[in-house]
Amino acid sequence: MQPAGALNPDPLLQRYLDFVRHEKRLAARSVSLYRENLLLLQALSTESAIPLLQVQTAHVRRWIAALHARGRSARGLALVLSSWRGFYRWLVNSRQISHNPVQDVHAPKAGRPLPKALPVDAAMQLADYQAPSTDGEQPDWQQLRDALIVELLYGCGLRVAELVGLDAAAGSQARGWLDLQEGQAHVLGKGSKRRSVPLGRQAQLAAQAWLQQRAQLPAAQHEPALLIGRTGKRLSAASVWQRLRTRAQQAGLETPVHPHMLRHSYASHLLQSSGDLRAVQELLGHANISTTQVYTRLDFQHLARIYDAAHPRAHKKPD
Q: Just list the catalytic residues.
A: 159, 190, 260, 263, 286, 295
Q: Under DSSP, is residue 231 helix (H, G, I), strand (E, B) or coil?
A: coil
Residues 6+ apart with CB under 8 A from 116: 255, 261, 264
Type of residue at 167: D
Distances (CA, A) of 27 to 15, 70, 85: 17, 29, 18
Radius of gyration of the chain (CA): 28
Nearest to 147 by CA among 63, 100, 206: 206
Side-chain half-sphere exposure of 308, counting CA atoms within 13 A = 6
Can you tell me the distance from the alpha carbon of 132 to that of 94, in angstroms, rounded to the nearest whole number? 75
Which helix (DSSP H) or strand (DSSP E) does residue 277 occupy?
helix 277-284
